[in-house]
Amino acid sequence: MLKAAYLHIPFCVQICHYCDFNKIFIHQQPVDEYLQSMKKEMIHTTTRFKNYEMETIFVGGGTPTALSEQQLQTFLGDVNEVLGNRSLIEFTVEANPEQTTKEKIAVLKANGVNRLSVGVQAFQSSLLKKLGRTHNKEDIYSTVAEAKKAGIDNMSIDLMFGLPGQTMEMFKESVDEALALDVPHISSYSLQIEKKTVFYNLAQKGKLVLPEQELEAAMYEYLIEALDKKGFKQYEISNFAIPGFESKHNLQYWNNNEYFGIGAGAHSYVEGTRRRNAGPLKQYMNLIEEHGFPYIEEHQVPLSEKMEEEMFMGLRKGEGVSDATFMSRYGRSMFDIYKEPIQRLIQKGWLEQREDTLVLTKDGRPLGNEVFQEFIGVVLD
């Protein structure tokens, strides 16, 4: 039974220089009309696909907190009306510090939001400016304090490393500052240069100077050690939590479970089919009006691809991939299907077997993408 939904708010007050997600500058956009289209998509989706019982909802973007208080109230009310139920245990909204006011936090809390994912990225003004971020350190402190005061204690902080001009001292300071905020979850990612971003254009012109790979690797190693000392468990390659505060929604993805995807550019995985929604606002809204659904791509996932995804999604997790779970889903052992790549990766020291489970080793974690490639395209007997 499907238990998760992702909802996409594409609007931003400022476009970050590294972001390749589906987003649009909010000024003079048809925000209210878009929210109405999202409600229609929710209704049509739950009418067509009835085998669901929501346990987790995640609202991402873009910047959900770019919405006004009234727009947030309308949107969250619609979400609760269509998707909400007593089974809901985690309701997350992404929040940018400079736009997450005391009043907006009150709206979030009143509508059942019980987790915030705060886009911090760094604590140094110089780095934030290079990233195209418009918040400062004081905004971060204020957002976290106001959320706690409102009773939202379950928060995650996003940090980035490998940034242009970022030194090890800067990253250590950011990790220390994040820990001082006393939140139970930290996500940390290295900068990836994606097409259609400011950073990509700068890199093409030779104007983007990034830290050496050795320094980036050292930052990641420091992150793991520093958070471990403070009681954070690395339960996924880039995610760390005080036990009990793992992201239940993101675990739905890493456990290769199905989910609804609502909104412009959103992806869904329902009844064995992956679907992609139209990204441009006008196209998305027109498709909703004309056809009820905004799909521009549908892919029935074959068995071989499901098994590949089970491996490389599951190996992202600290607990790895269980052969018992694999066999219950696909009727065969992963040690049979992937015998050769598993043996190669174990010999390289990137994978280890713990009873019936495969996990990335300490050396394998920074090389996750190389490990995952080994499971793609294996011919089934």
Q: Are 89 and 228 contained in the same domain?
A: yes
Q: How many domains does the chain have?
A: 2
Look at residue 86 and tell me if it is in a domain.
yes
Whose structure tokens read 């009006």?
A: 289
Q: Which residues contact 230 (CB under 8 A, 6 or more apart)?
A: 179
pTM of the model: 0.94
Q: Are 230 and 311 contained in the same domain?
A: no
CATH code of the domain in which 43 resides: 3.80.30.20
Question: What domain range is 353 assigned to?
Answer: 303-373
Closest to 275 (Cα-Cα) out of 286, 287, 360: 287
Look at residue 348 and tell me if it is in a domain.
yes
Pairing of strands 185-190, 239-241: antiparallel
At residue 375, the 3 state secondary structure works out as coil
CATH code of the domain in which 322 resides: 1.10.10.920
Look at residue 49 and tell me if it is in a domain.
yes
Could you give the dihedral angle defined by the CA atoms of residues 339, 341, 343 and 345, in that order, rounded to the nearest 10 degrees? -150
Strands (E), the chain: 2-9, 11-12, 24-25, 52-61, 90-95, 115-121, 155-161, 185-190, 233-236, 239-241, 260-262, 267-270, 273-277, 295-300, 321-322, 351-354, 357-360
Q: Are 158 and 226 contained in the same domain?
A: yes
Interatomic CA distance for residues 167 and 165, integer angstroms:
6
Look at residue 36 and tell me if it is in a domain.
yes
What are the residues facing 294 on neighbouring strands? none
Q: Are 98 and 247 contained in the same domain?
A: yes
Q: Are 54 and 157 contained in the same domain?
A: yes
* pLDDT by 10s per residue, the chain, length 381: 999 999 999 998 877 776 667 678 888 999 999 999 999 999 999 999 999 999 999 999 989 999 999 999 999 999 999 998 888 999 999 999 988 999 999 999 999 999 999 999 999 988 888 888 888 889 999 999 999 999 999 999 999 999 999 999 999 999 999 999 999 999 999 888 888 778 878 888 888 888 899 999 999 999 999 999 999 999 999 999 999 999 999 999 999 999 999 999 999 999 999 999 999 999 999 999 999 999 999 999 999 999 999 999 999 999 999 999 999 999 999 999 999 999 999 999 999 999 999 999 999 988 888 999 999 987 676
At residue 242, the 3 state secondary structure works out as coil
At residue 127, the 3 state secondary structure works out as helix
Q: Are 185 and 250 contained in the same domain?
A: yes
Letter for the amino acid at 268? S
Q: Alpha helices of 22-68 — where are they, by DSSP H?
A: 31-48
Contact 312, 291 (CB under 8 A): no
What is the CB-side half-sphere exposure of residue 214 using CA atoms within 13 A? Answer: 0
Q: Which residues contact 152 (CB under 8 A, 6 or more apart)?
A: 105, 108, 109, 113, 114, 115, 116
